Structure 1
Amino acid sequence: MSDAAQPTAAEVRAAAEAIKTALDRHLAAVERRSGDDDPAVYEAFNELAAAAEVYDELLYDRYDEVTPFEIPGADDSLPPYEGPDEPHAISVLIRRDYAVAEPQRLLAQAQRVEAAELEEAIGADEDVANTVPGALGILFGEFEPDEIASRHKEFGLEEGDSTLWVTADDEPADPGEWLAAPFEQVDPQRVVCRFDVSAVFDEDDDTDEAEHDDLDLDEGDGPAPSDAGR
């Protein structure tokens, strides 16, 4: 960046003052919070994150220096719930990812299901279970998703990330209304609760445990640091 485009020292100082103000507002909002999803806390958090980002950029542009902290972006979390207090209907959105780890095991399981169906239905297609897409269609048509999740190794599958969202609706949807695009009209402000499962979280825990182990080795035979609150 050229000298002419660099921020002034006064601009950097003003950005630092803005962070202090945002910190005070955030703490005040937390102290007055009315619940886990208090919109005032959410707004104060976003203001603090924005102020920190501006300060970090100006500090780097002016002094080639960075801050030692990082505030997660607002896009990493859902906005506060603004749906009805007593929803008359809910929608449950689930996504589970799998890797086809053992295709032969998958095909063998589908062929067993297909063989049982052939005994009951004349003229069934015997070749469907010989392809991975066909085998998946047979197994997911035969078993409930929760059963496949609990028995995924039997079907040659390896679990990936999964997420479950519960959203509030004013009224139940009309039959067939959303089937063509089931996930396109999700309003984040109507998400009642959300549950995510990912190996990323396990890796974070492993890293923390490794750091704790290193600390134990450095400090001798004292008790390990507590994981409470993580």
Structure 2
Amino acid sequence: MSDAAQPTAAEVRAAAEAVKTALDRHLAAVERRTGEDDQAVYEAFNELAAAAEVYDELLYDRYDEVTPFEIPGAEDSLPPYAGPEEPNALSVLIRRDYAVAEPQRLMAQAQRVEAAEDEGTGVEVSATVHGALGILFGEFEPDEIASRHKEFGLEEADSTLWVLAADDPADPGEWLETPFDQPDPGSVICRFDVSSVFDDLDDDADDDDLVDGLEEEELEPLDADR
């Protein structure tokens, strides 16, 4: 890493202070916990893990030093399963992030779709990145965009899939107004994560030492194109 790209000493110090603050908040949440699955403790735990990870990365980039902290994987950050033993329904939550790497390619693909539809409106919606995204995601299924993202000028970022159990199916239209409200972590049966952070793992590590998200990436059928 070049000197210009290295974090400053002040940035490392600020990250260390953030860890101290997160430690205090976690301890306070533990002291006030109301049960084994206290949501405040769960959130404080995740904040502490995130702060420690940032500090560890900056410390290494600046001073080539590491901490003795082990940042838990995605599976470790979930509380114990507290959902129904025999679920009658499930929800599958999927998030895929992309970077718009080639805006011109993106708009060119949207223009092809627009020309094929030939609605005769006289308005080139595809002339903007915002409009082009609307056209492409309106024309293609999300799984097809995932498999062809490079054709559309997109670059894959993090993605995750959560499977949640429920006692009964939701009523029609019940959650449509707020479909992305925070899910109950205690109802998560399993999750599958893909992230570039996993690329930093030691290539020579044993398979058993890999985080669960990286192992399960190969088993997850919806993202077999990755």
Interval containing the TM-score (normalised by the shorter chain): 0.5 to 0.7
Q: Are 1:141 and 2:120 counterparts?
A: no
Measured in 2, the distance between the counterparts of 1:124 and 1:192 equals 48
Q: Does 1:97 align with 2:76?
A: no
Query: Which of residues 160, 165, 177 is equivalent to 2:162?
Result: 165
Q: 1:2-151 counterparts in 2 under 5 A?
A: 69-72=68-71, 77-118=77-118, 121=119, 123-124=120-121, 126-151=123-148
Q: How many residues align?
A: 145
Q: CA 1:138/1:177 → structure 2, altered by over 3 Å: closer, same or farther?
A: same
TM value normalised by structure 2: 0.58
Deviation of the 1:142 alpha carbon = 0.8
What is the CA-CA distance between 1:140 and the residue it aligns to?
A: 0.6
**Superposition deviation, residue 134 in structure 1:** 0.8
Give aligned-pair identity as a percent. 69
Partner residue, 2:198:
201
The one-character-per-residue Cα deviations of 1:101-142 (angstroms, maximum 9, x if unpaired) are 000000010111111111xx4x44632111111110111111
Point out where structure 2 has 5 or more consecutive residues left out of the alignment: 1-35, 37-41, 46-66, 210-226
Q: CA deviation at 1:228?
A: 3.6
Instruction: Describe the superposition over 1:10-32 as per-residue Cα deviations: whole angstroms up to 9, x where unpaired.
Output: xxxxxxxxxxxxxxxxxxxxxxx
Matching residue within 178, 181, 190 for 1:184:
181
- How big is the alpha-carbon RMSD for the aligned residues of Structure 1 and Structure 2? 2.6
Counterpart secondary structure, 1:93: strand
Is 1:229 aligned with 2:226?
Answer: no
Distance in 2, Cα, partners of 1:78 & 1:197:
16
CA distance in 2, matches of 1:73, 1:202: 16
Question: Would you identify which runs of 4 or more consecutive aligned residues in structure 1 move more than 6 Å?
Answer: none
Structure 1 length normalisation: TM-score?
Answer: 0.57
Question: What is the one-letter code of the residue matched to 1:159?
Answer: E
150-159 or 173-182, which deviates more: 173-182
SS of structure 1 residue aligned to 2:151: coil
Report the secondary structure of 2:208's partner residue.
coil
The 1:144/1:83 distance shift into structure 2, 3 A limit, reads same
How many Å separate the matches in 2 of 1:81 and 1:73?
A: 17
Per-residue deviation, 1:180:
2.3
Contiguous gaps of at least 5 residues in structure 1: 1-38, 40-45, 50-67, 213-225
Post-superposition shift, 1:72?
4.2
Which deviates the most, 70-79 or 106-115?
Answer: 70-79
